[in-house]
Chain A
């Protein structure tokens, strides 16, 4: 087998691993949100397990990228793919952490009527969609998907502001359950952060496709 063919095989293996890691992140976020919205305690364990899996995957992919850079000394598009992979996996790993944090906090919240007062569901669904789409944009090498992820972030940000105001109003009117409200604020913040990480992933996808990064001068 020629060196290039071998390298191509390794790149395609990297691609597979990234897709798997992205799928794990999607699953972790959706499990965490399920813990929060359906109060299913069993799922909290699944979120922890997923977080560990994501961490292991990050290390594996990191190793693989380093090996590729050292042994093959890639250039141009290949180098971009590998370097953006290294950046993407750290964002994915953060998403996994935040999903686990959400699940951990959500276990303590028992308020089934919450949905009627705090409108967090739409925002969390958008964030989940952003994670899915950012992984999709990488999988399908689709610029327009990456752009739509970046556009969706404003929705999540404004959602977070709205929830913050709702929580302030709720604490003002009902000081007894403030602890729960703080927890919810944390969850909302984590969700907002997940959206930011999805944006980062989408930006790295753009970079790997075009060689230009929105925020950084590379």
Chain B
């Protein structure tokens, strides 16, 4: 705007200067022209008088070479010329000024030279005898005069330009200043030209409108991001070039991305086959579901195209963590397989033995031995089914008994009592040291825990080993510790022994007995009581398992 004002003003100034010069030149030239013609006419009249009085002799001693003086006879022949030789001059009767003078006593004409650089003014007077006296003067035309004045004119124009530029610069600055000072945030307060007040009002109105819309958008975006950020599912929005437009933290977490991904290509997050296919199909306008496996986890990808005016403009991808579900399913399958296997083994023995007996292949004396076999296997089945039932009851959270205050001391004593028989058969000494600890719990489950721990300690012990059962109070919790001197558990299997049907030593499992469910029951029971299980084990040295229960007193405070 400043430069616009500047240019306009300077060009106006230059135009004014040039047109002034032109007008002045025109007026002055016309004035001098007239003066000059007057002079010529006076001179012509003056000389004419002289000739009329003195005749040709008037020219004697006439040395005026400034103007050309020609005396023409009435027939057009030249009688005298002060510059050219009259004998070489043609007849002048057809000259305009002479013709005019012959007709009306005075004639005048102006002729330009070929180059227009000079012009000649002729003035003719008719004498009384019919002859004509002509005075003419040659002078430069206006163009030549102008050409001569080019330098001063340029100087003037240049000076005008400099001065007007300097002034205009200041002026334009001053004009623009109030406009620049308008605070566009609050245009209604601005003091400025009246002409732009409506514009300012309009801007103020639009500002308010924009602020309102922004507020609205921000609120919507916050609501949206609150929803997406609190989703545990990953959420990605991509445009039709697979560039990420929006995402939530869960998506980055699930895909294991740490850096900023806004506006990056979605395939930079993951480029596995299923991910590529999900994006491709969605951008091709097809809803699809894919399974993505990533670092031992399983994700379900749900990809949907986004349409705008029947054209795919992007896609929305939702990432669901299926690992847990998948794990549970695998767990269930494994459990079913294990249960069937564990149930089938004793049943095969029972069925086989019974078949032999049925076919009468056994001496009557041996029958008690075979019957014992059947009995033992049946007992094993009963224990197994009992264990499975207990576990599935715990799974279903349907406990046989409400929580009540239980003293662990008699529970432990009871469990130890139950294993003493088996222990003494293998010369294992069982040492108990216990204090009275009252906790809130379910008696039947607590009994299961104590029994299974003691039972394992005896079962997996060596001949003549020891089992130490300690029940003590430590820092507000009751700790039941059972240590044995048995085979121990290798470090890499310590996590797995709590799994159902898992056994460290698969080959000896049969002769030791046991169902592989004992520690599972302990783990489950402890979980129901919010108890913590710790395990220390050194292979060939022994195992110590501690279960830490919160005490009643602590619970009642809570």
A195 in the interface, Cβ–Cβ < 8 Å? no
With the chains together, A13 CA to B265 CA distance in Å? 9
Tell whether, in the assembled complex, residue A13 and residue B241 are in contact, meaning their CB atoms are under 8 Å apart: yes
Contacts of A13 in B (CB 8 A): 241
| Contact flags A1-42 to B (C-beta < 8 A → 1, else 0) | 000000001001101100110110011000000000000000
Tell whether, in the assembled complex, residue B271 and residue A22 are in contact, meaning their CB atoms are under 8 Å apart: yes
Minimal Cβ-Cβ distance residue in B for A15: B265
Tell whether, in the assembled complex, residue B243 and residue A23 are in contact, meaning their CB atoms are under 8 Å apart: no
Tell whether, in the assembled complex, residue B268 and residue A140 are in contact, meaning their CB atoms are under 8 Å apart: yes
Q: Given known contacts A12-B265, A19-B265, A23-B276, is B241 in contact with A139 (CB within 8 Å)?
A: no
Distance of A124 from chain B, by nearest CB (Å): 20
Tell whether, in the assembled complex, residue A27 and residue B273 are in contact, meaning their CB atoms are under 8 Å apart: yes
Tell whether, in the assembled complex, residue A16 and residue B273 are in contact, meaning their CB atoms are under 8 Å apart: no
Tell whether, in the assembled complex, residue B273 and residue A23 are in contact, meaning their CB atoms are under 8 Å apart: yes
Q: How many A-B residue pairs have CB under 8 A?
A: 33
B272 in the interface, Cβ–Cβ < 8 Å? yes
Contacts of B243 in A (CB 8 A): 12
Q: Which of B259, B267, B272 contacts A16 (CB 8 A)?
A: B267
Please give the number of chain B residues whose Cβ is less than 8 angstroms from any Cβ of chain A in the complex: 11
Please give the number of chain A residues whose Cβ is less than 8 angstroms from any Cβ of chain B in the complex: 14
Minimal Cβ-Cβ distance residue in A for B267: A19
With the chains together, A9 CA to B273 CA distance in Å? 23
Contacts of B273 in A (CB 8 A): 23, 27
With the chains together, A163 CA to B267 CA distance in Å? 36
Distance of A5 from chain B, by nearest CB (Å): 11
Minimal Cβ-Cβ distance residue in A for B273: A27
| Contact flags B236-265 to A (C-beta < 8 A → 1, else 0) | 000001110000000000000001000001
Minimal Cβ-Cβ distance residue in A for B241: A12
A135 in the interface, Cβ–Cβ < 8 Å? yes
Minimal Cβ-Cβ distance residue in B for A12: B241
With the chains together, A23 CA to B267 CA distance in Å? 10
Tell whether, in the assembled complex, residue A23 and residue B271 are in contact, meaning their CB atoms are under 8 Å apart: yes
Minimal Cβ-Cβ distance residue in B for A132: B271
Query: Of residues A16, A19, A26, which shows the largest number of chain B Cβ atoms within 10 Å of its Cβ?
Result: A16
Contacts of B241 in A (CB 8 A): 9, 12-13, 16
Interface residue ranges of B72-86 to A (CB < 8 Å): none
Contacts of A23 in B (CB 8 A): 267, 271-273, 276
Could you jot down 18 A-B contacts, CB within 8 Å?
A: A12-B241, A12-B242, A12-B265, A15-B265, A16-B242, A19-B265, A19-B271, A20-B267, A20-B276, A22-B271, A23-B267, A23-B272, A23-B276, A26-B271, A27-B273, A135-B271, A139-B267, A139-B271
16 further A-B contacts with Cβ under 8 Å, apart from A20-B267, A140-B259, are: A12-B241, A12-B243, A15-B265, A16-B241, A16-B265, A16-B267, A19-B271, A22-B271, A23-B271, A23-B272, A23-B273, A27-B273, A139-B265, A139-B268, A139-B271, A140-B268
The 4 closest A-B CB pairs, nearest first, are A23-B271, A19-B267, A139-B268, A12-B241
